[in-house]
Amino acid sequence: MTGLRLALTCALLATTNGVAADWPLFRGNPLQSGVAKEALPDQLEVIWKVKLEEGTESTAAIVDHTVFVGSYDQHLYAFDLATGREKWKYKAGAAIKAPPSVADGTVFVGDEDGVFHCVDAATGTKRWTFATGGEITGGANFAEGRVLFGSHDSRMYCLDRKDGKLLWKVRTEGPVNGSALVAGKLTFVAGCDSNLHIIDWESGKDLHQIDLQGQAAATAAVDADKLFVGTMTNFVVGIDLTKKAIIWTYESERGQPFFASAAVTDRLVVVGGRDQLVHALDRSTGKPVWTYATKRRIDSSPVVAGTRVYVGSSDGHLYVLELKSGQLVQRLELGRNILASAAVANGRLVIGTTDGLLYCLGKK
């Protein structure tokens, strides 16, 4: 087994052996795989919903029975997962589109002005802030006391989690839209320079770049030694990280870009497109297994929980599909538009809408 494959395997084991009740990052775990550690009830019901002052496209984090989510109204909120009761709200100073990330009793999130905030998870009190030169839309990731995130100022940053001190930054020659992923001693970031950057998170050295043949707005996902990411040039790309090479590309027949991030299982890569379709691809070959049509584009990233796929659409509905076949199980009308992705924890799913509704779904 190569060093890279061993590192990635160890990272995967670390994510699957974690606390099943939490969803601390944008896609649930450091590898950004979009796969929950638990199944959800057969039929989802509204447990509670909260009306925010303005809309949200921020994907929630759920840690220690608390929901953390940002809003266009410039606030980071904390709600009780069981009741929807507001615990606190923190004023950032600009709209928060990015997903919060949580580690060691601390919440990290970037805002539209390019300020990265570190907030106490229990009280909502500011610990420190760090200013970048561009909007932050992606979520943070963590590695041994460090926090990593990208900015639209064309840089990937690594800060000390405790005090916000800059440890290193890497220039990407284009805005970084998505969240960083961490596997072993490596972090991977895809951005608008059309490259996948493989970076040593200890030193900040940009070890290798792989040409994605198009700009990426999505967050990449890793499973074993394979990485998957959609591009603005209408492709989903499968990469072998040991060979550092593209092994397949998939293009929708409708020829539209992929802004959503993929969910990756042992068999499938599931991703939504601006072609209004949910695509399930064979992870080995990139060939389509099934597609499901919604009524508008899909920028919400699918989440796999148990044997089902949960994905929002810009038509305002949350779709529940069978993972194996793509058959519709349930469709819930939640609002005008859904850009956020689902967060899953404790048998519940949390997702917000651009008209300011935050839902907690599960079994009453």
Domain ranges of the chain: 3-362
Give the per-residue pLDDT at 191: 74
22 φ/ψ sector (left φ>0, alpha ψ -120 to 50, else beta): beta
- What pLDDT does 55 receive? 97
Query: Residue 35 has what DSSP assignment?
Result: B
Domain 3-362 has CATH 2.130.10.10: yes
Spell out a b/e string for 211-247, using b for 16 or more CB atoms within 10 Å of the CB, else e. Answer: ebebbbbbbbbbbbbbbbbbbbbbbbbbbebeeeebe
**Residue 346, class by beta-carbon neighbours within 10 Å (0-12 exposed, 13-18 middle, 19+ buried)?**
middle
Give the pLDDT score at 16. Answer: 37
Give the pLDDT confidence score for residue 239 in this predicted structure: 95
Contacts of 295 (CB under 8 A, 6+ apart): 276, 313, 315, 317
What whole-number distance in Å separates Cα of residue 269 and Cα of residue 306? 15
pLDDT of residue 8: 52
Predicted pLDDT of residue 20: 52
Nearest to 353 by CA among 72, 86, 43: 72
Q: Do 162 and 154 contact (CB within 8 A), yes or no?
A: no
Neighbour count for residue 3 (Cβ, 10 Å): 10
Residue 297: phi, psi to the nearest 5? -65, 160
Name the strand (E) or helix (H) holding 9. helix 3-16
Q: Which pLDDT does position 217 carry in this prediction?
A: 87
Euclidean distance between CA atoms 72 and 53, whole angstroms: 8
Q: Which residues of the chain fall short of a pLDDT of 50?
A: 1-3, 6-7, 9-19
Partners of 79 in beta bridges: 67, 86
Looking at residue 111, what is its pLDDT? 98
Nearest to 125 by CA among 107, 145, 102, 149: 107
Give me the residue label for tokens 């000390």.
160
